[in-house]
Amino acid sequence: MATGLTLEQMKRFVSDHFEDFVNKRNSGVIHKNMTPDFHDNDGPGGKPTGVDGDERMMLNLYKAMRDLHLTIEDMIAEGDKVVCRNIWRWTDAASGKKMQFHGFVLWRFEGDQIAERWATVTSPAEGTSWNAGQL
Amino acid sequence: MSAPAQSNSEVIEAYLNTVMCKDASVVDRFFDPDVEYMVNGTPTPDPEGVLPLISAECHAAVPWLGLNRGRRAMREFLAHMHRNLEVTAFGPREVNSDGNKAAGLPLVSPPRAVDRPNRGDLLLRPLRAPGRVDRQISLPGKHIRCRIDIPHWRQLDAGDRWRTTSSADVVMRI
């Protein structure tokens, strides 16, 4: 099923999803934003999963990364897909170091929801501090 | 009559095919003289804190990771990478474009046998000892199943010149 959303609507949808799912720590939003048969090709551990697997992963991230914050650095939309280039930042609880990793994610839409995901991320590395108010 | 102009997606697709063939002309054909090409991050901290930092351990094992500026640096980067890795297969990937940018991402499906590429997977053969990093880099000489993700971002700057940034995340599994 194709999507009826425009390219700009898809971008806004993805941006809102990240804001709620990551920055606002609302894991349950994934049930609203994804199709019932949503397929994540690159879930935790590089294995495919669905909505429940991704929600569990995010709940674990909330616990491990108390100040986890994602910024979307770039976004591309074409057809029924959106690609994002993201930076994930947090403070390591044990060392107090500012950490980050970068990721690319490809989302495919069906109707007005996300139906499929592919992603790649860099390894976590020490980064620099950031001011969330400026993001 | 001149050939029709390629879309951004077609340019990236052509670039990926050319570079995988170790075609030495790829740099002059596809890159602006002032190209900035980043693979995973930089080995030195970015003063602005935007670019990801590559650890010393990781950079020692995979020395072609980093930020390359200009065609000369690009040639050296590709030569270095090709001396160390042989691409033996490349599964399909998807290239999307939007305005002056394009991204190429592999489409991955569940694992298959080691000698058959997944959708979007590269099969690579390390030609020299790459060392070990977090158990992700194999011992030298082994034919390993690898996945390499190569998102490419092209952006037209104010001077109407193409500037390209690339990030590759190589995950190698024995």
Residues B153-174 have pLDDT tens digits of 333 333 333 333 333 433 332 2
A118/B98 Cβ within 8 A:
no
CB atoms A74 and B134 under 8 Å: no
| Res. B92 pLDDT band, cuts 50 70 90 | low
Percent of chain A's residues with pLDDT above 90:
60
More confident residue, B127 or B31: B31
Question: Does the model's pTM come out above 0.80?
Answer: no
Q: Is pLDDT of A2 > 80?
A: yes
* Number of folded domains that form chain B: 1
Q: Do B40 and A87 touch (CB under 8 A)?
A: no
Task: Give residue-wise pLDDT tens across range A15-71.
Answer: 999 999 999 999 999 999 999 999 998 888 778 899 999 999 999 999 989 999 999
Fill in the amino acid letter for A35. T
Q: What is the CATH number of the domain that holds B37?
A: 3.10.450.50
What's the domain range around B146? 8-173
Task: Look at residue B8 and give its three-state secondary structure.
Answer: helix
Retrieve residue A53's tokens.
């697997």
Give residue B172's pLDDT: 31
Q: How confident is the model at residue B145 (pLDDT cuts 50, 70, 90)?
A: very low
CA distances (Å), B126 to each of A118, B75, B81, B146, B173, in order? 26, 19, 10, 10, 12
Q: What is the mean pLDDT of residues B39-56?
A: 76
The band of A120, judged by pLDDT with boundaries at 50, 70 and 90, is: confident
Is residue B140 situated within a structural domain?
Answer: yes
Whether B121 has a pLDDT exceeding 60, the answer reads no
CA distance A122 to chain B (A): 6
User: Pick from A77, A118, A125: which is nearest to B98 by CB?
Assistant: A77
Backbone φ and ψ of B162, nearest 5°:
-80, 130
Q: Measured between beta carbons, which residues in chain B are less than 8 angstroms from residue A79?
A: 96
Q: Is the pLDDT of residue B38 over 90?
A: no
Sign for the pseudo-dihedral over CA of A33, A36, A39, A45: positive
Does residue A124 or residue B73 have the better pLDDT? B73
pLDDT at res. A56 = 95
Among A41-45, B54-58, B124-128, the least confident range: B124-128
- Is residue B3 in a domain? no
Residue B20 domain flag: yes
**In angstroms, what separates the C-alpha of B171 from chain A's closest C-alpha?**
10
Rounded-to-integer distance, Cα A94 and Cα A91, Å: 9
Domains of chain A, start order: 7-128 (3.10.450.50)
Chain A partners within 8 Å of B91 (Cβ): none
CA distance A111 to chain B (A): 19
CA distance B39 to B51: 10
**Residue B2 maps to a domain:** no
Q: Is residue B1 part of a domain?
A: no
Q: Which residue of A has its CA nearest to B93?
A: A118
Suggest the residue from A7, A83, A91, A108 to mutate for an interface test with chain B (most B CBs closer than 10 A). Answer: A83
> Is B136 domain-assigned?
yes
> Does some domain include residue B91?
yes
ipTM, 2 decimals? 0.70
**Is the predicted pLDDT of residue B149 greater than 50, yes or no?**
no
Q: What is the pLDDT of residue A10?
A: 97
Is pLDDT larger for residue A25 or for residue B88?
A25
pLDDT attached to residue B4: 60
Q: Identify all chain A residues contacting B120, using CB atoms and an 8 Å cutoff.
A: 118
Please say if the pLDDT value at position B142 is more than 60: no
| Closest Cα in chain B, distance from residue A76 (Å) | 5
- Write the residue in B53, B58, B110 that is nearest to A126 by C-beta: B53
The mean pLDDT of chain A is: 88
B12 domain residue, yes or no: yes
CA distance A91 to A20: 20
